Amino acid sequence: MRKITAGLFISLDGLIGEPQDWHFPYFNDEMGAAVGAQLAAADTLLLGRATYDSFAGAWPEREAAGGEDAVMAKALGDARKIVVSHRELEFTWRNSEQLQGELVQSVTELKQQPGATDIAMSGSPSVVRQLLAAGLIDELHLLVHPIAVRSGQRLFDEGTPIPLRLISAQPFTTGVVHLIYTSDGGIRTGDYADAKVHLPQADR
């Protein structure tokens, strides 16, 4: 079964909306390598419509311009791009198609299709939320920025808790921390009686 990885820029207070307003001052070679590695491990992109529209409005022109980001632009153009939307879409960016059917069932079937590489997501928070709740995200890549944005869209909204297990944590020189999580199965239980044994104990 193919693995789905989801990458998002997120503030210290858990906000992911409008990252172009606060994210770019923290982008350096370390972050570029992290983002590039996640996307390079995939030949298929699964995107929400708003994220797709943002990508399609920028990357084809960057590829045509042949600048320093043209290699990344070509890789995104060459990838299979599957777009999640409730309305019928028309595409001009090559290798783009619309996900057909109900989200969870269709993505489950997509994961079962033959393929030697990952399926990557970038942004697309509403789709990420639904797939996390359904247990279909294998790796959640969060680039946590050292800024409290204080207003805007949050990654996690109200609902049933989603337990996660940390795979890796890498701090960058900018103060950004790259956290990678995977599912942790069932919700853990415990109370203060379980926790207090780990507190410093008085000498006896």
Chain segment 122-151, per-residue pLDDT in tens = 999 999 999 999 999 999 999 999 999 999
The DSSP code for 100 is: P
Structural contact between residues 84 and 127, judged by C-beta atoms closer than 8 angstroms:
yes
Distance CA 156, CA 175 (A): 22
Per DSSP, what are the bridge partners of residue 44?
80, 119
Residue 59 phi/psi, 5° resolution?
Answer: -70, -40
Question: What is the structure's pLDDT at 160?
Answer: 86
pLDDT range class, residue 157, cuts 50, 70, 90: confident
Please give the average per-residue pLDDT across 189-193, as a whole number: 91
Please give the average per-residue pLDDT across 163-179, as a whole number: 97
pLDDT range class, residue 158, cuts 50, 70, 90: confident
Question: What is the structure's pLDDT at 204?
Answer: 52
Question: What is the structure's pLDDT at 119?
Answer: 98
Distance CA 42, CA 117 (A): 5
Question: What is the structure's pLDDT at 41?
Answer: 95
Q: What is the pLDDT of residues 23-76, one digit of tens each?
A: 999 999 999 999 999 999 999 999 999 999 999 999 999 999 999 999 999 999
Which CATH number does the domain 4-186 belong to among 3.40.50.2300, 4.10.93.10, 3.40.50.1820, 3.40.430.10? 3.40.430.10
